[in-house]
Amino acid sequence: MFERRKAASVAAMARFVLSHSHGAAECKTAYAAWNGFDSPLRHETLASCGRGRHRMFWTMEAGDEVEALSLLPPWVAERTEVSEVREVSIP
C-alpha cells in the first residue's frame, strides 16, 4: 500500500520550462539576484544574453507553478513565464 501512495505522489510532479527575460541594461541585476539565494537551479542554465536576446531558461520538476517559481530569486521570478510541458512523440 505504501508503494502505491509513493508512486502516486511521484506521478504528481509536473515538468516545467521557466523562461525569464530582461532588458540589456538589467543583465547585471539578473545575475546579481542569485547572490545568497540557494536553489538547485542556481549554477546551470541556458541563456541568450551573450547573443543579444537576454533570456534564461530552466527545465525542472515541481508540484505546481508556484513551487517552480519559488526556486528563482524574486526579481528573476517576477520576470519569468512558466509553462507546464511533457514529452510527446512527433510522428
Residue 90 is assigned to a structural domain of this protein: no
Whether 72 contacts 39, CB under 8 Å: yes
37-65 residue pLDDT tens:
999 998 888 889 888 889 999 999 999 99
- Which of 82, 69, 76, 81 has the alpha carbon at shortest distance from 34? 76
Kindly state the cell numbers that stand for 57: 531558461
**Residue ranges making up the domain that contains 81:** 14-85
Task: Work out the number of other CB atoms within 10 angstroms of the CB of residue 18.
Answer: 23
User: What integer pLDDT is reported at residue 32 of this predicted model?
Assistant: 95
Residue 21 is assigned to a structural domain of this protein: yes
Sheet holding 55-62, edge to edge: 46-47, 55-62, 14-21, 80-85
Q: Is the pLDDT of residue 7 over 60?
A: no
CATH number for the domain that contains residue 21: 3.30.70.100
User: What integer pLDDT is reported at residue 80 of this predicted model?
Assistant: 97
How far is CA 87 from its chain centroid? 17
13-24 residue pLDDT tens:
999 999 999 999
Residue 1 is assigned to a structural domain of this protein: no
